[in-house]
Chains A and B, each alone.
Chain A
């Protein structure tokens, strides 16, 4: 058997490959340097990172919205629009994280190449995860990204909370990987020994217990990554302990990539009504628990952790639809919601990065009077929070609207109703920082929060994108629809 490699295969692999290579470059370039200059911004690292990421983005964009070239690498991956959109979200997130990294790491005295290259490594793995179309490549990608993210979570190895969070994340992550692997094995068995998603979809019957259990175990494995209840317990601790930037990266990129892969899986295979009902129950519990638990949180990171859980809950609704076989209905909402969530969350984390650089804390009260000291940051954060709460004129509103209307159309009225109630609850805690920023007196401890231009750029671009998507969602909605329908065929 002679190995051949086609142009499409190289092109498809290019974004991930460039990211991996960029990571290696950063690692090597920083090797000779002593740790004496850790407080400097080391702009060359960020420059290489940004250049590499931009190259990856370019290599993604030259593929455009061309139809997929079919199964690549013997069915291990594909280059369809869905995967490209996922890869796009991740690469853009990586870009913003790299932009913010220099200033953030320098202020904490821990500025080494590892952070930058870990972002690239995990980013590359996530890109692969979005494109993976067989069980093995999914697993390899998810493990690669997990290992990198464990380290990112514990990046501040001298902070007890950071190390503790990373350790918890690692142990529980390994545990969940076990479920994922077991589920894959079941699915493999139930489908008569095929690892490719297309083959599994062709041979799977939803009444098959083995297949249902296998699918469910796989969903659990992913559910851990995205923080679905009851597999969410790591989220608050890790979010609170880990460096803010890692948390932002986890909240946006890990969640997006996992959801993209999970959606691809269930869109391909379905899962039957019973599994859909159980996932619906998980969605309900996740939405309610996430929002209710967030109500009393005073730490911004912890609040956003629970808010992230809640958003996982909302995203489980289209998953339920996809599992129940109505994926076509939920088509547009999946990529759209993930992209909207990504830009919104990045804007929010940009501000938290600025706050934590300035005060080394992240309480709501640290935001007091931000509107007076840093009106633009406050505005960006406000936009982000309103979008997370789903207030009209923001992308979050459109996303939620689509998800809830999809749920109603797909016959899951109760999910939509509970989702709406949950979103109403969420407004309370999303508005608390807004009130603090605009209506409270600034605390005397700091006059001006320094914000690197990377942070400002991120917050500005993401906030504008949030509003822009809220005002002109059409093109992205259509693109999302196109991508999902390409999978469904």
Chain B
């Protein structure tokens, strides 16, 4: 799996090529990349130049589901959102470990159970800690 992720052979090749400074194979890539950039930028440029422009205050304002704007949208969120998000991701990812364990729990036997128990104990401990420290309370 990791092999595929890294693209072992491919990455080695690229680095080897870079190292060898051989341009023949890279040339195609460079040409392709250049074309892509030129085409993209060209489109933007053309629409900027050729496109018609009729501005008014409605058009300039931020779109808020058709409701008139109350305030600036560029306000920081309260940090509590982040806290909840982080906690969620933390527990989410850690519980994901339970899934593969469920698949192979029979092969792992008693020791596997004990290890998982420790894991859950630590996790529960973390939750308890958060709770007692008041991380779960909004105010």
Contacts and interface: CB of A to CB of B under 8 A. Distances in A.
Direct contact of A and B (CB under 8 A): yes
A213 B18 CA distance: 13
B6 interface: yes
B128 interface: yes
B15 A210 contact: yes
B109 A31 contact: no
Nearest to A208: B12
B129 A31 contact: yes
Contact of B19 (A28, A190, A209): A209
Contacts of A32: 132
A188 B11 contact: no
A71 interface: no
Interface string A1-14: 11111000000000
B11 A210 contact: yes
Contacts of B42: none
Contacts of A188: 2, 6
B83 interface: no
Given A24-B125, A189-B6, A4 B111 contact: yes
Contacts, number: 49
Contacts of A190: 12
Contact of A3 (B5, B19, B109, B132): B109
A209 B16 contact: yes
Interface in B1-21: 2-3, 5-6, 8, 11-12, 15-16, 19
Interface string A204-220: 00000110010000000
B19 A2 contact: no
A280 to B, nearest CB: 21
Interface residues on A, range: 10 to 19
B2 to A, nearest CB: 7
A185 interface: yes
Given A2-B107, A28-B128, A209 B15 contact: yes
B109 A210 contact: no
B117 interface: no
A230 interface: no
A24 B122 contact: yes
A265 to B, nearest CB: 19
A190 B125 CA distance: 40
B108 interface: yes
B40 interface: no
B88 to A, nearest CB: 17
B111 A185 contact: no
B12 A210 contact: yes
A160 to B, nearest CB: 16
A379 B19 CA distance: 56
A3 B101 CA distance: 13
A27 interface: yes
Given A28-B128, A185-B2, A193-B3, A5 B8 contact: no
Interface in A175-200: 185-186, 188-190, 193
A213 B132 contact: no
Nearest to B9: A189
Given A2-B109, A185-B6, A31 B125 contact: no
B133 interface: yes
Contact of A213 (B6, B15, B111, B115): B15
B30 to A, nearest CB: 21
A28 B126 CA distance: 10
B112 A3 contact: yes
A190 B6 CA distance: 11
22 contacts: A1-B108, A2-B107, A2-B108, A3-B107, A3-B112, A3-B115, A24-B122, A24-B125, A27-B129, A28-B125, A31-B128, A31-B133, A32-B132, A186-B6, A186-B11, A188-B6, A189-B6, A189-B8, A189-B11, A210-B12, A210-B15, A213-B15
Interface of A: 1-5, 24, 27-28, 31-32, 185-186, 188-190, 193, 209-210, 213
Given A27-B125, A28-B128, 18 more contacts: A1-B108, A2-B109, A3-B112, A4-B111, A5-B111, A28-B129, A31-B128, A31-B132, A186-B6, A186-B11, A188-B2, A189-B6, A189-B12, A190-B12, A193-B2, A193-B3, A209-B12, A210-B15
